[in-house]
Amino acid sequence: MLTSIKTNEFAGSESKKLAMMYFRVAIILFGAQLLMGLIAAIQFLAPGFLFEVFDFNVARMVHINALVVWMLYAMIGSVYYLLPDEAGVETVGVGLGKLAFWVLTAAVTVVVLVYIFIQVGPGKESTIWLINEGREYIEAPRWADIGIVVVVLIFYWNVFATYMKGKQTGILTVLVADLLALAGLYLAGMFFTDNISMDQYWWWWVIHLWVEATWEVFVGSLAAYGLIKIIGAKREIVEMWLWIEVLMLFGSGILGLGHHYFWIGTPEYWWEIGALFSALEPVPLVAMFVHVLYDWGKEQGKAKAEGKEGAVMNNGPAMAWIVTNAFGNFLGAGIWGFFHTLPQVNIYTHGTQFTAAHGHLAFFGAYATILIGMMYLGVQGAYGIEKLRATFKSKMAIFLITFGVIGMTIALTIAGYEQVLVERAELGGGWSAFFTAQNLPWYVQAQMWRTIMGVVTFVGFVYLVWDLLTIGKQAKQGAKAA
Ligand code: HEM
Ligand code: HEM
Ligand SMILES: [Fe+2]
C-alpha cells in the first residue's frame, strides 16, 4: 500500500499552480499580520508609539483582518491543491479560477491600502461602503464584500463541477458540503442593523460558526488528505474518522455558539445552551488529536515491522506541522477555550487578555499550523519531489514560531489572570478598574514578554519564508546528485 502513494500524479497541473498563487499571497499577508501585531504589542507598552499616525485600533484591525484573509487564501489554495488528486481529474474552470484570483487580490490590496492610509471615516453609510464595515475580523467595506461573494461563487463552482466530474471521495464530499456552509455564513456578516445586540448576534454566526464548526471540519479534511499523502494512511480509516469528527464538530460547535450570547442582550436560556454545548466542544478536538497521532503511530509501526523505516514519511516538514496542528488545536481551542466557556467563569474573564491568549493559541494551533503544512505539500508538488526532508531552516521555523506563540499565550494568560483578580474580582470591573489593572507590574511585564515572544515568532516566520523559497530547489538538486 505504501509504495502505491502517488504524490505527484498531478504535479504541475494548472490547479496546483493556482494553489501556489494563493499560497504566495497567503504568506505575504501572514507577514503583514505579524508586523501589525508587533506594532499593536509595542503600543501596549508605549501608548504614544505612532499615536495619531497609526493608532492601536488600526494596527489591531489590520492584524486580525490580515489573519482571516491569509487563512482564507491558504484554504482556497489547499482546495485547489488537493482537488485533482482526490477527484482524479484536473480541476474544472481553472482559467476562470485564475481570473478570480487576480480580482480578489486586487480587491484585497485596495482594502489594505484604504485601511492603512485612510483608516477611518465618518459614521455614515459611505464609510460602510467604502472604508470599513466595523465588524471585528471581517471589517472589509461592502463593495469588497460583494466582490468576495462573486469570487467565492466562482471558486465554489469550480470545486463542485470537479467533484461531479471526477471521483466523489469521502474527503471531497465533506469538503463540498462544508465549503457551502462556510461561504454561506459569510452572508450573515454583510448586512447592517443599528441594534448592537442584533448586529452582534449575526456577526457571531460568521466568527464562531466559522472557527468552531466549518473551519474545523475543513481542517479535518485537510488532515485526512495529508495523512494519506504523507504517511500512506489507509483511506477507509481516515475517512471513517473524518465522518465521526464531522458529526461531533457540528453536534457541539453549532449550539456552542451560545457562549458568545451570554452578555450581549440575548435571552438567558443561552447560558445553559452555551455552557453545555461549548463544554462538549473539546471532545471532537480530542478525536482529531487521536486520529492524527494514532494513524501516524500505526503506519510507523507497520513500516518498522516490514523493515522499511522511512518509507512512511514523504514530507517531513508538512507532517511536523500536521502533528503540531493536532496538539495546537486541542490545546488552543479545546483547553484554552474550555477554561473560560462556562458562564460562571466567563463573567470574570470576558474580554480580558485571557480571551486574547485563547484567540492566539487557537487560531495558530488549529489553522496556521495545518495551512503551513499544506504549503509544504504545495512546494513538494511544484518541484515534483518524491521525498521532502526537513532542513535546518524548516526546524528553526517550526520551533521558533511554535515557541513564540506558546510564549505569547502564557504571557497573555498571566495578564488575563491579573485582570480577573484585580480588575474584576477585587475592583468590580468598570473603567477605572480596567486602567488600574493595566498599570500593575504583572500586567506590564506580561505585555513585555508577549512582545519579546512576538519577535521570536517573527524570526521563526523569516526562517519559514526562507525555507519555503529554497527547500524545493535544494531537494531537487539533492535528488539529482543522488
Ligand atoms: C479553532 C477554534 C477556535 C478559535 C480559532 C477560537 C478563537 C477565538 C477568538 C479569536 C475569540 C475572541 C473573539 C473576540 O474578539 O471577542 C474567542 C472567544 C471565545 N472562545 Fe474561542 N476559538 C476556538 C474554539 C473555542 C472552543 C472549542 C471553545 C470552548 C470550548 C471556545 C471558547 C471561547 C469563549 C468562551 C470565548 C469568549 C471569550 C470572552 O468572553 O471574551 N473557543 N475564540
Ligand atoms: C508577532 C506576533 C504577534 C503579536 C506581537 C501579536 C499581537 C497582538 C495584539 C497586540 C493584539 C491585540 C490584543 C488586544 O486587543 O488586547 C492581537 C490580537 C489578536 N491576534 Fe495577534 N499577535 C501576533 C501573532 C498572532 C498570530 C500568529 C495569530 C494567530 C495565528 C494572532 C491572532 C490574533 C487574534 C485572533 C487576535 C484577536 C484576539 C482577541 O480579540 O481576543 N496573532 N495580537
Ligand atoms: Fe466560540
Average of per-residue pLDDT across 402-424: 98
For residue 355, the ligand 2 atom closest to its alpha carbon is 41
Residue 3: its pLDDT value, please?
Answer: 36
Buried b / exposed e along 29-60 (16+ C-beta atoms within 10 A): bbbbbbbbbbbbbbbbeeeebeeeebbbebbb
- Mean residue pLDDT across the chain: 94
With cell 502505491, the residue in question is 4
Residue 225: its pLDDT value, please?
Answer: 96
Average of per-residue pLDDT across 65-75: 98
Mutate to test the pocket of ligand 2, among 63, 215, 462 (most ligand atoms within 8 A of CB): 63
* Each residue's pLDDT tens digit, 168-193: 999 999 999 999 999 999 999 998 88
| Residue 358 beta carbon below 6 angstroms from any ligand 1 atom | yes
Name the nearest CA neighbour of 308 among 69, 3, 36: 3
In CATH, which superfamily holds the domain spanning 2-481? Cytochrome c oxidase-like, subunit I domain (1.20.210.10)
| Residue 74 beta carbon below 6 angstroms from any ligand 2 atom | no
Single pTM value for the model: 0.96
Kindly report the number of other CB atoms within 10 A of residue 205's CB atom. 17
C-alpha 283 to ligand 2 mean position (Å): 26
| Residue 405 beta carbon below 6 angstroms from any ligand 2 atom | yes
C-alpha 464 to ligand 3 mean position (Å): 30
* Each residue's pLDDT tens digit, 317-350: 999 999 999 999 999 999 999 999 999 999 999 9
Burial (CB < 10 A; 0-12, 13-18, 19+), residue 297, is exposed
Q: Are 8 and 379 spatial neighbours (Cβ–Cβ below 8 Å)?
A: no
- Cα–Cα distance measured from residue 371 to residue 368, given in angstroms and rounded to the nearest whole number: 5
Whether the pLDDT of residue 389 is over 90: the answer is: yes
Enter the C-alpha cell of residue 42: 509595542
Who wins on pLDDT, 234 or 376? Answer: 376
| Residue 40 beta carbon below 6 angstroms from any ligand 2 atom | yes
Angle ∠(420,422,425) on CA atoms, nearest 5: 60
Whether the pLDDT of residue 4 is over 60: the answer is: no
Whether the pLDDT of residue 368 is over 60: the answer is: yes
Q: Are 384 and 8 spatial neighbours (Cβ–Cβ below 8 Å)?
A: yes
Strand partners, 388: 315
Average of per-residue pLDDT across 450-473: 98
| Residue 358 beta carbon below 6 angstroms from any ligand 2 atom | no
C-alpha 256 to ligand 3 mean position (Å): 7
Strand partners, 315: 388
* Each residue's pLDDT tens digit, 269-323: 999 999 999 999 999 999 988 988 888 888 888 878 887 665 578 999 999 999 9
Average of per-residue pLDDT across 431-446: 97
Q: What CA–CA distances, in Å, run from 36 to 112, 192, 298, 459? A: 12, 27, 42, 15
Whether the pLDDT of residue 411 is over 70: the answer is: yes
Minimum mean pLDDT range among 61-70, 160-169, 235-244, 411-420: 235-244
Burial (CB < 10 A; 0-12, 13-18, 19+), residue 301, is exposed
For residue 365, the ligand 1 atom closest to its alpha carbon is 1
- Cα–Cα distance measured from residue 150 to residue 425, given in angstroms and rounded to the nearest whole number: 49
Q: What CA–CA distances, in Å, run from 148 to 46, 176, 186, 386? A: 37, 18, 10, 36
Which residue has the CA at smallest separation from atom 33 of ligand 2?
A: 360
For the chain, the domains span 2-481
Which residue has the CA at smallest separation from atom 42 of ligand 1?
A: 337
Question: Could you tell me what percent of the chain has a pLDDT over 90?
Answer: 87
| Residue 253 beta carbon below 6 angstroms from any ligand 1 atom | no
CA atoms within 13 A on the CB side of 354: 23
Which residue has the CA at smallest separation from atom 20 of ligand 2?
A: 360
C-alpha 166 to ligand 1 mean position (Å): 37
| Residue 211 beta carbon below 6 angstroms from any ligand 1 atom | yes
Mutate to test the pocket of ligand 1, among 135, 139, 212, 257 (most ligand atoms within 8 A of CB): 212
* Each residue's pLDDT tens digit, 84-124: 999 999 999 999 999 999 999 999 999 999 999 999 999 89
Residues whose CB is less than 8 angstroms from the CB of residue 310 and which lie 6 or more positions away in sequence, other chains included: 303
Residue 7: its pLDDT value, please?
Answer: 53
| Residue 339 beta carbon below 6 angstroms from any ligand 1 atom | no
Q: Pinpoint the alpha helices (H) of 118-265.
A: 125-130, 142-165, 170-186, 196-209, 215-231, 235-256
Which residue has the CA at smallest separation from atom 15 of ligand 2?
A: 60
Residue 1: its pLDDT value, please?
Answer: 34
Residue 456: its pLDDT value, please?
Answer: 98
Whether the pLDDT of residue 252 is over 60: the answer is: yes
pLDDT band at residue 8 under the 50/70/90 scheme: low
For residue 450, the ligand 2 atom closest to its alpha carbon is 5
| Residue 274 beta carbon below 6 angstroms from any ligand 1 atom | no
| Residue 350 beta carbon below 6 angstroms from any ligand 2 atom | no
Kindly report the number of other CB atoms within 10 A of residue 136's CB atom. 14
Which residue has the CA at smallest separation from atom 33 of ligand 1?
A: 337
- Cα–Cα distance measured from residue 339 to residue 195, given in angstroms and rounded to the nearest whole number: 30
| Residue 67 beta carbon below 6 angstroms from any ligand 2 atom | yes
pLDDT band at residue 226 under the 50/70/90 scheme: very high
Burial (CB < 10 A; 0-12, 13-18, 19+), residue 66, is buried
